[in-house]
Amino acid sequence: MVEGVWRGFASDNYAGIQPDILAAITDANAGHQVAYGDDVYTQKLTSVIKKQFGDKAEVFPVFNGTGANVLTLQAMCRSWESVVCATSAHINVDEGGAPEKVAGLKLMQVETPDGKLTPELIALQAWGFGNEHRAQPKVVSITNSTEMGTVYSVAEIKAIVDHAHGLGMYVHLDGARISNAAAALGVPLRAFTTDIGVDAVSLGGTKNGAMGAEAIVILNPELTDVIKYIRKTGMQLASKMRFISAQLIALFESDLWLKSASHSNAMAQALYAGIKDIPGINVSAPQANALFPFLPADAIEPLQAVAKFYVWDHMTNQVRWMCSWDTTQADVDNFVAAVKTQLAK
């Protein structure tokens, strides 16, 4: 055991690599393969993704989620067009301004109570079509599961897609935790993407146990041709792409993606069950793999010393506890015991 190994609830990005994925990387390390995606692993990944999302799906592996989001949105917009998103969206809050700086896109933010857009909320920004003084709304970007831990139902996304398409707009789904959403809903990945008309998906792997593997999945053929050029100019074209593709094959060829996401969701439920009745805590039941409890201010730092986690809102003392594919029942039990002890003080 390496000195300094620890476990916590800060982020599913903190977790290690799935053993099956690590083995897939090692297996892909034999011999030579053609660079830049013309390898047998990336070709196989194409068939794997088509099985998950349908025959019209095209996959483009990239290094990270920011790259997947920014390049997809860039492919969907011309320079005078804009993206409607929730104020809490990752593209707005946590990507360092990359959509604006790299893609040159205007983000039109909408305040939401739970991180989820609706047709009515979208309408607050999706207007002014044909007005040369206003950036033209072209894309609705949603996240499932959301940055606030909530999950869109199939019907909710369908309503958004129908509304957006009726306005001549595309729909992008940030799927950094798409596996957790599918596990929570109990439906295939295509049920809330391809089958209801979502145009493009940022497919997450890293948060569900990959070493570092994300992908752009294009579901609308209108967008396919431009992605390969944008991926190169956006510095997301991997020369040794086989090692990214091999990870995604290991995750999505079998039900590993679903088992892992189901486990992290279940651990969040177990954590909720353990802490929901502790006096001094206010918390809602998790919809996926994250909890957002409100804690007494003087309990936060002592608990962070037990297991790392982030403060979500310093003004209200709301924190975020995120479970991962490798969270154990012992992790949950130990932390619940620490919470009970700290709040009893």
pLDDT in tens, 192-220: 999 999 999 999 999 999 999 999 999 99
Residues 87 and 208 in one domain: yes
pLDDT of residue 188: 98
Position 282 in a domain: yes
Same domain, 260 and 232: no
Distance CA 200, CA 57 (A): 9
The chain-wide mean pLDDT, for the chain, equals 97
Q: How confident is the model at residue 3 (pLDDT cuts 50, 70, 90)?
A: low
Is the domain of 236 the same as that of 270? no
Residue 309 lies in a domain: yes
In a domain, 339, yes or no: yes
* pLDDT of the residue at 102: 93
For the chain, the three-class secondary structure string (H helix, E strand, C coil) is: CCCCCCCCCCCCCCCCCCHHHHHHHHHCCCCCCCCCCCCHHHHHHHHHHHHHHCCCCEEEEECCHHHHHHHHHHHHCCCCEEEEEECCCHHHHCCCCHHHHCCCCEEEEECCCCCCCCHHHHCCCCCCCCCCCCCEEEEEEEECCCCCCCCCCHHHHHHHHHHHHHCCCEEEEEECCHHHHHHHHCCCHHHHCHHHCCCEEEEECHHHCCCCCEEEEECCHHHHHHHHHHHHHCCCCCCCCHHHHHHHHHHHCCCHHHHHHHHHHHHHHHHHHHHCCCCCCECCCCCCCEECCECCHHHHHHHHHHCCCEEEECCCCEEEEECCCCCCHHHHHHHHHHHHHHHHC
Q: Please check whether residues 45 and 135 belong to one and the same domain.
A: yes
Q: Is residue 14 part of a domain?
A: no
What's the total number of domains in the chain?
A: 2
pLDDT value at position 209?
98
- Structure confidence at residue 4 as a pLDDT band (50, 70, 90): confident
CA distance 110 to 83: 11
Mean pLDDT over 212-236 rounds to: 96
Q: Which of 252, 282, 311 is the last residue of a domain?
A: 252
Considering the domain architecture, whether residues 230 and 261 belong to the same structural domain is answered as: no
Domain CATH code at residue 340: 3.90.1150.10
pLDDT tens per residue, range 31-90: 999 999 999 999 999 999 999 999 999 999 999 999 999 999 999 999 999 999 999 999
C-alpha distance across the termini of the chain, in Å: 34
> Which residues face 139 on adjacent strands?
83, 170
What pLDDT is recorded for position 1? 47
47/180 same-domain check = yes
Q: Give yes or no: residues 100 and 241 share one domain.
A: yes
Of 193, 197, 153, the closest CA to residue 174 belongs to: 193
What pLDDT is stored for residue 174 in this prediction? 98
Alpha-carbon span 21 to 3, nearest angstrom? 24
Distance CA 212, CA 16 (A): 10
Q: Say if residue 88 is in the same domain as residue 200.
A: yes
Size of the chain in residues: 345
Q: What is the predicted pLDDT for the residue at 20?
A: 98
CATH number for the domain spanning 104: value is: 3.40.640.10
- Counting Cβ atoms within 10 Å, is residue 66 exposed (0-12), middle (13-18) or buried (19+)? buried
pLDDT band, very low/low/confident/very high, at 2 (cuts 50, 70, 90): low
* Domain finish residue from 203, 226, 252: 252
**Which of 198, 228, 252 is the last residue in one of the domains?**
252
Specify whether 274 is located in the same domain as 208.
Answer: no
Q: Does residue 152 belong to any structural domain of this protein?
A: yes
Instruction: Output phi, psi for 306, to 5 deg.
Output: -80, -45
| 9-24 residue pLDDT tens | 999 999 999 999 999 9
Residue 34 shares a structural domain with residue 176: yes
**Per-residue pLDDT tens digits for 128-154:** 999 999 999 999 999 999 999 999 999
Q: Region 239-268: what's the mean pLDDT?
A: 98
Q: Is the pLDDT of residue 255 over 80?
A: yes
Write down the pLDDT at residue 5.
84
Q: Please check whether residues 121 and 234 belong to one and the same domain.
A: yes
Q: Is residue 7 part of a domain?
A: no
Look at residue 113 and tell me if it is in a domain. yes
Cα-to-chain-centroid distance, residue 7: 22
State whether 50 and 181 are in the same domain.
Answer: yes
Query: Residue holding tokens 């055991």?
Result: 1
10 found inside a domain: no
Q: By residue range, what is the domain housing residue 334? A: 256-344
Q: Do the Cβ atoms of 323 and 335 come closer than 8 Å?
A: no
